[in-house]
Structure 1
């Protein structure tokens, strides 16, 4: 972990850059031509009517067995073919969702000197940050964030959470408790759809007492040259599952679909669910983590909350034995989640390179 003790260069807050009135972005944020949005090499999906699957979780409580079966089937298909879907009627109140998003928007709008009190470092990433990865000279993303641990409770340090706005700590605790319940519920559905006992994946994560959960509040400031940079570079999430609360007023999330980039259209009061690399490994490639990125806007800031539901850090993650057969041998080499996420903390986001590197060809 010595390589993660400090940032290689002085940290510049992107929001401060955006608010300074610059008309051209610094060179360190300009992506190579092949990686820029809106170019012929990275076209948007041409079907304007396609969106990631939308699933009503209320149907799972229906007395209509056909409707319940169809909903389970829709989730299974989304996990196998997309790695992304949206859920509505998930049990979390719209008021809490709005309050959680707004309190973080208020935090990012605080004076810089107040936010700087929570400046992070790469060993844990906990706190107020502006870059991923510690490679010197890396091309940076156009975003700032605040990262905090929620579970296990041994890692939760609420004193490191922002004290302003005054309601933030209480809202984070309440919001986190509800999202953890949703994550556990979804994990049971994924497990059942794989033909396993409903608690199997949860136990593979370490069980209720050991599951990891963390929150990254993101701000993607308005950008004078959004065609030259990205809010977040292409990547698949290294953890188990991400539960995203998006800004429904400004689109920004894009998912790679059949070689093109699809701009996700968020549904009001919905969460966007995406599977991470650990689920892909545990399912032996039956479920897919999806490559995604974030584009930025020339006129508006965008705030989102990414809640990550992860395995216990020191557990060995490998394809589940029930999903390994002669016809489908184990496709991935074992690795702990702590070892796995060190890669992105060192190099930053880099497509699906990391999970592909785990593939076993023996």
Structure 2
């Protein structure tokens, strides 16, 4: 965690002209403020990778050090995600215990890794208002695992529509349920709406691994989870179909609405 955070800070501290050589994100690579293709913006810069591919070519010692730290981190987080999903299946009394984890750990699974950097926002210093770092949304994948430094900003929204700040803890991981897991469990687990508020004083660095299933995987409530007479709340779709729908939507859209019965 510490190695990768240090490498991320090193990259985001580079002159803008150097960072721009890794972008523009389309969708992968380096991005600055612009999130996606539908007009969403935030007070951040980021690196976005396909988690299963080499993130950087070793053209310099800096790139090699970055890749080494990132590769080591991804291996460890994949192991943790597998353990978490197996624990979820156990809690739901699902057999086999890898019913959820195998979707995220398949060799064709759609993993994405994101490094976000939220610079301090000078206009906010001393003012009682906030600027959006990353707008409110739910994650479309099965789960996402987030780790950040000791800077605040992450907020989640319970069902009453309010926003609750999550205390920063650089020694902890935050597990977000995604839309796909909500469907797979027929609503027993709910995807969490969250956002990041810009910090007026301290920079925030976060790293998020998004665990998606293979593109052709059918997403529907697991049969072994359904009670007698229980009906699916959702129309069946593939992860590839849902991913395309998410890519076409705005960040804050409720993407699952169009798939509800």
TM-score by length of 1: 0.65
Distance apart, 1:325 and its partner CA: 3.7
Distance 2:257 2:57 in 1: 35
Decide whether the 8 Å contact of 1:230 with 1:294 is kept in 2. yes
Instruction: Deviation per CA, 1:196-221: give whole Å up to 9, x if none.
Output: 12111123x16542333221000112
Distance 2:76 2:218 in 1: 27
Higher Cα radius of gyration: 1
1:174 partner SS:
helix
Distance 1:198 1:127 in 2: 35
Matched, 1:148 2:49: yes
1:1-362 to 2 correspondences below 5 Å: 97-122=1-26, 125-130=27-32, 131-135=34-38, 138-151=39-52, 156-159=53-56, 164-196=62-94, 197-203=96-102, 205=103, 207-226=105-124, 227=129, 229-248=131-150, 250-257=151-158, 258-351=160-253, 353-360=254-261
Decide whether the 8 Å contact of 2:49 with 2:112 is kept in 1. yes
1:141 partner SS:
strand
Distance 1:202 1:166 in 2: 30
Distance 1:224 1:343 in 2: 36
Distance 2:105 2:170 in 1: 32
Structure number with the higher strand fraction is: 2
Distance apart, 1:112 and its partner CA: 1.3
Decide whether the 8 Å contact of 1:275 with 1:288 is kept in 2. yes
Distance 2:36 2:241 in 1: 15
Instruction: Deviation per CA, 1:194-248: give whole Å up to 9, x if none.
Output: 1112111123x16542333221000112223453530111101011111111112
Residues paired across the two proteins, number = 253
Change (3 A) 1:202 1:166: closer
Decide whether the 8 Å contact of 2:130 with 2:198 is kept in 1. no
Distance 1:144 1:162 in 2: 22
Change (3 A) 1:121 1:297: closer
Change (3 A) 1:313 1:161: farther
Residue range with higher mean Cα deviation, 321-330 or 161-170: 161-170
Unaligned runs of 5+ in 2: none
Distance apart, 1:166 and its partner CA: 4.2
Distance apart, 1:343 and its partner CA: 3.0
Distance 2:5 2:231 in 1: 43
Distance 1:245 1:206 in 2: 19
Distance apart, 1:139 and its partner CA: 5.0
1:186 partner SS:
helix
Provide the alpha-carbon RMSD of the alignment.
Answer: 2.1
